[in-house]
């Protein structure tokens, strides 16, 4: 479901690979230290939508708090997430006024106050400075940057880009789906409240819907019960981002945009085949 979220390429926030909003390393006047240099950068962006775990019956247009329709209960909520990361090592010959330089990676949250249905769940400030709200983006504000002298026969240029999802969708209902065997592109149901439940939670009341949701075994920021912004905290947001980032270097953790099934049968599950960025390091994050 389309969600009105801030683009990672808009405003003052930086898209992956673009100039960041943070302070760039200082380049000298041409009379300082010359290369060649090994320059390494690291960036991360997470686009997210909070979706409900719903009790029966599940109807279209539901909210996260259980206040819009009295015929069902919100058991809890979690995040659908698209994760984009990049680690790049370059050889440069620029002149700088220092012989080495390093800065840690810092983040900013661009949160929406309303969900895709126009519902709000309290002031974002109630959830702290890093409150995610019902949808938005977590962005690299200042990229990790490390520069040192290039070592011949040891260093090499590298460019690792990662795109992965914590969620995937299969046609129709997992159990009651009339033998549908195909996974579908993630963007068809990303943020869709109707199909937000896991297969084992989704009862026959969901059998008329277009897809069933599968979550990867990565953090998804679970909140129990009806969602309100005051149930969030800065500590939980930091733990969520660091937990997601810690999985980026590992194989078989995230889904691709268009996953395939393990087997061509009703029991087939979407494969987690996103190619990892093995050089991504969570200890480069700085939340100070």
Domain range list for the chain: 37-281
The pair phi, psi for residue 144, each rounded to 5°, is: -65, 140
117-168 pLDDT per residue, tens = 889 999 999 999 999 999 999 999 999 999 999 999 999 999 999 999 999 9
* The pLDDT of residue 2: 35
CA-CA-CA-CA dihedral for 95, 98, 100, 103, to nearest 10: -100
219-236 pLDDT per residue, tens = 999 999 889 999 999 999
171-180 pLDDT per residue, tens = 766 555 555 6
Res. 14 pLDDT band, cuts 50 70 90: very low
Q: Which residues contact 253 (CB under 8 A, 6 or more apart)?
A: 164, 216, 217, 218, 247, 272, 274, 276
CA-CA-CA-CA dihedral for 16, 142, 99, 159, to nearest 10: -20
Q: For residues 171 and 161, is the Cβ–Cβ distance under 8 A?
A: no
Cα separation of 86 and 179, whole Å? 39
* The pLDDT of residue 173: 61
Computed over every residue of the chain, the mean pLDDT equals 81
* The pLDDT of residue 63: 62
Which long-range CB contacts under 8 A does 64-71 form with residues at least 24 apart? 64/115, 64/119, 64/121, 64/134, 64/226, 64/227, 65/119, 65/121, 65/226, 65/227, 65/228, 66/226, 67/226, 68/117, 68/119
* The pLDDT of residue 194: 73
* The pLDDT of residue 193: 81
In 3-state terms, what secondary structure has residue 231? helix
pTM of the entire predicted model: 0.84
Whether 52 shows a pLDDT value over 90: the answer reads no
Higher pLDDT, 101 or 11: 101
Res. 209 pLDDT band, cuts 50 70 90: low
């Amino acid at each position: 479901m389309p969600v009105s979220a801030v683009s990672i390429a808009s405003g003052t926030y930086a898209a992956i690979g673009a100039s960041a909003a943070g302070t760039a390393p200082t380049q000298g006047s041409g009379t300082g230290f010359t290369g060649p240099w090994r320059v390494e950068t690291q960036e991360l962006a997470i686009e997210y939508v909070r979706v409900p775990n719903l009790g029966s019956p599940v109807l279209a247009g539901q909210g996260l708090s259980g206040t819009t329709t009295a015929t069902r209960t919100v058991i809890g909520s979690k995040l659908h997430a698209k994760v984009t990361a990049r680690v790049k090592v370059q050889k440069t010959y620029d002149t700088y006024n220092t012989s080495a330089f390093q800065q840690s990676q810092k983040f900013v949250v661009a949160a929406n106050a309303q969900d895709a249905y126009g519902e709000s769940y309290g002031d974002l400030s109630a959830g702290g400075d890093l409150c995610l709200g019902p949808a938005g983006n977590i962005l690299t504000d200042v990229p990790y940057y490390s520069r040192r002298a290039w070592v011949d026969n040891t260093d090499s240029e590298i460019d690792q880009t990662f795109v992965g999802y914590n969620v995937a969708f299969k046609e129709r209902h997992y159990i009651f789906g009339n033998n549908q065997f195909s996974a579908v592109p993630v963007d068809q149901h990303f943020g869709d409240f109707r199909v937000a439940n896991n297969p084992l939670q989704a009862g026959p009341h969901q059998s008329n819907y277009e897809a069933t949701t599968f979550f990867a075994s990565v953090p998804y920021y679970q909140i129990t019960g009806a969602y309100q912004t005051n149930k969030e905290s800065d500590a939980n947001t930091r733990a969520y981002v660091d937990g997601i980032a810690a999985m980026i270097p590992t194989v078989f953790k995230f889904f691709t945009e268009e996953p395939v099934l393990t087997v061509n049968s009703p029991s087939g599950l979407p494969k987690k085949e996103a190619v990892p960025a093995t050089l991504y390091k969570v200890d480069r994050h700085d939340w100070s």
